[in-house]
Amino acid sequence: MRTRKRLTDTTDFKREDLPPLTPEETARRREAFFKAAGDNLRLLMQFAETLPETGVTIKDAQGYIYFKNRRALELMNLTDDSTIVGRRAQHIYPRHLWRVYIDREEPSLRTGEPMIDKVYGYVADLSTALNRVSVFPVRNGKGAIIGLVTSHYRVRSKESAPNWYDTIKDAITYVSKTYASDISVADLARRANLSESQFTRIFRRQTETSPAHYIVQTRINAARTLLETTDKLLTDIATETGFYDHAHFIRTFKRLVGMTPSRYRKQHWTGLGKNKAKD
């Protein structure tokens, strides 16, 4: 009875203080979750693994992740789910990011209404690219909500983007091409033919972040790629991605990614490696 009550208890979804599950707890709770959800959810997992462009995540009513398909793992630079299963977004992402994900998903958990194909600027791969996101509640055999399925895929073209995207698309493109230079929000607003306050308001509403933070996140994403695929020194990576102060780069990277650049490189290294340990 205790396990059944916990499966349907949605009140802890937003809590910050729940610890990660032990491997034994993960195995037990995961099995109970999928047993309660039925064979259709297991079939969905198999189908999700065939989707080359769509990331799929399944979590319980408390936010513990029990499944990410291959594409979702690839987008997080992971080769398997060993560091993800049994953990929550609160354990994985910086606070300003996990709050976005939790606030986006919680209404479907609370009301039972799915969120279908909404465009957002953040998904759980820590990117700032535009993505279409859907969230569906998972129910047990009695119809009670016990978790969520979330999917996301990239917005590929202007035609598939919403109308508001024209307002900021030039600024977004400019950031992606010139993030290493000195970019100001005022410059971006002028490119969008808006006042700085109008531009900031529209940008924040549609991407769930400020233009200034978007610039920083784009730089951090570029730094992540260089850390994963090159043997460049951290000082060089900092300069090439627009951080002219090495110490500021390290502080910002740790704040947004949750670990230092050196640790990130050790965990995600895919390059030749001859200088990867250098700072």
| CATH code, 29 | 3.30.450.20
Q: Are residues 54 and 169 in the same domain?
A: no
Domain count of the fold of the chain: 2
Going by pLDDT thresholds of 50, 70 and 90, the confidence category of residue 4 is very low
The reply to whether 113 falls in a domain is: yes
Instruction: Note the pLDDT of residue 83.
Output: 84
User: CB of 223 within 8 A of CB of 241?
Assistant: yes
Going by pLDDT thresholds of 50, 70 and 90, the confidence category of residue 54 is very high
Q: Are residues 91 and 220 in the same domain?
A: no
The reply to whether 274 falls in a domain is: no
Mean pLDDT taken over the chain = 84
- Residue 31 structure tokens: 């099995």
User: CB of 153 within 8 A of CB of 54?
Assistant: yes
Amino acid at position 6, single letter? R
Looking at 92, 119, 154, which one is the last position of a domain?
154
pTM of this structure: 0.61
Instruction: Note the pLDDT of residue 278.
Output: 46
Q: Are residues 142 and 74 in the same domain?
A: yes
Q: Are residues 102 and 21 in the same domain?
A: yes
Q: What's the CA gap between 44 and 133, in Å, rounded?
A: 17
pLDDT over 80 (residue 20): yes
Instruction: Note the pLDDT of residue 3.
Output: 41
Whole-angstrom Cα Rg for the chain: 20
Looking at 154, 180, 213, which one is the last position of a domain?
154
Q: What's the CA gap between 95 and 10, in Å, rounded?
A: 20
Q: Are residues 150 and 186 in the same domain?
A: no
Q: Are residues 187 and 150 in the same domain?
A: no
Range of the domain at 144: 2-154
Amino acid at position 25, single letter? E
Helix (H, G, I), strand (E, B) or coil at 82: coil
The reply to whether 279 falls in a domain is: no
The reply to whether 276 falls in a domain is: no
Q: Are residues 234 and 257 in the same domain?
A: yes
User: CB of 202 within 8 A of CB of 170?
Assistant: no
Look at residues 227, 238, 219 and name the one whose alpha carbon lies nearest to residue 266: 227
Instruction: Note the pLDDT of residue 119.
Output: 75
pLDDT over 70 (residue 125): no
Burial 196-218 (b: 16+ CB within 10 A, else e): beebbebbeebbbbebebbbbbb
Instruction: Note the pLDDT of residue 258.
Output: 81
Give the model confidence (pLDDT) of 149-202 as tens digits: 999 887 765 445 555 556 676 787 788 889 999 999 999 998 888 899 999 988
Q: Which residue blocks in the chain are alpha helix, DSSP H?
A: 2-7, 23-37, 39-48, 70-75, 89-92, 95-111, 165-178, 185-191, 196-207, 211-229, 234-240, 246-257, 261-268
Q: What's the CA gap between 45 and 222, in Å, rounded?
A: 31
Q: Are residues 136 and 213 in the same domain?
A: no
Looking at 154, 183, 204, which one is the last position of a domain?
154
Query: Which CATH number fits the domain that encloses residue 221?
Result: 1.10.10.60
Instruction: Note the pLDDT of residue 208.
Output: 67
